[in-house]
Structure 1
């Protein structure tokens, strides 16, 4: 098994076991995590982001659907399921109280790996689908 596949498989297992220490060990000390909400840099911020996610979705589970790896890159298509039982933040920063709704989202992540650790992790998924499954319908600032 390639080093790239091994570290991304470890990350998925750590997320599914909700082991934040194991999650952080998959990332380099100066790793950068990107998604539509923003960026997290370094172990402390990455840990904080995943703590936020696992608090919002305490039954969070990821399933790898397709994974393609190269020398230093993995592209993973995944499915995420979970029930929103904790606070989330809307794109405008307003709190979203727990809806207790179950969501199923499909997305993709791009992992750049150096020396056996993830140094860049980019996540893509449909945020509007996410909010719609929570029963929320966001309006653009222009529509307000």
Structure 2
């Protein structure tokens, strides 16, 4: 399974199965994670993948994920994700965004995450641009 799309399809399946070991096994031991919008969140290695997903599965026991769009070019897979579930405190959990994966030798060797919590209450486009540019709300 060297095709990036097949590897990502398998990642989705094991994530939805909440199979932590199979999920971690999708990643190379020297996996590189980058979060360009939040650079301090980047990390190296699949030990952090395990810690992250153990916390996610425990905190959102009914988590489900889906890739709503994908394209691949060589060893890269550009994927748009939706994640949904209910946290153990009863609050909804929803995230959406893009993850760009690099797959080598059947394992995910790197990922650039642009995944963010869904925000349905922060205002319209005018408000968002005003906050971004002026630091204030309209």
Give me the TM-score of the superposition, normalised by structure 2: 0.76
Q: 1:130 to 1:59 in 2, by over 3 A?
A: farther
RMSD of aligned residue pairs (Cα, Å): 2.4
Q: How does 1:1-144 map to 2 (within 5 A)?
A: 3-35=3-35, 36=38, 38-85=41-88, 98=89, 100-127=90-117, 129=119
Residue-pair matches, total: 120
**Residue 50 of structure 1: SS of its match in structure 2?**
helix
SS in 2 for 1:44: helix
Greater Cα radius of gyration, structure 1 or 2: 2
Shift of 1:48: 0.6
- Give the SS at the match of 1:58: coil
Query: Does the 8 Å contact 1:30/1:43 carry over to 2?
Result: yes
Show structure 1 runs of 5+ residues with no match. Answer: 86-97, 133-141
Match in the other structure for 2:129: none
Deviation at 1:124, TM superposition (A): 1.2
Structure 1 runs of 4+ off > 3 angstroms? 34-37
CA shift digits 1:43-85 (9 cap, x unpaired) = 2111111111111211110011001011110011121101111
**Is the alpha carbon distance of 1:130 and 1:101 closer, same or farther for their aligned partners in structure 2, counting shifts above 3 Å?**
farther
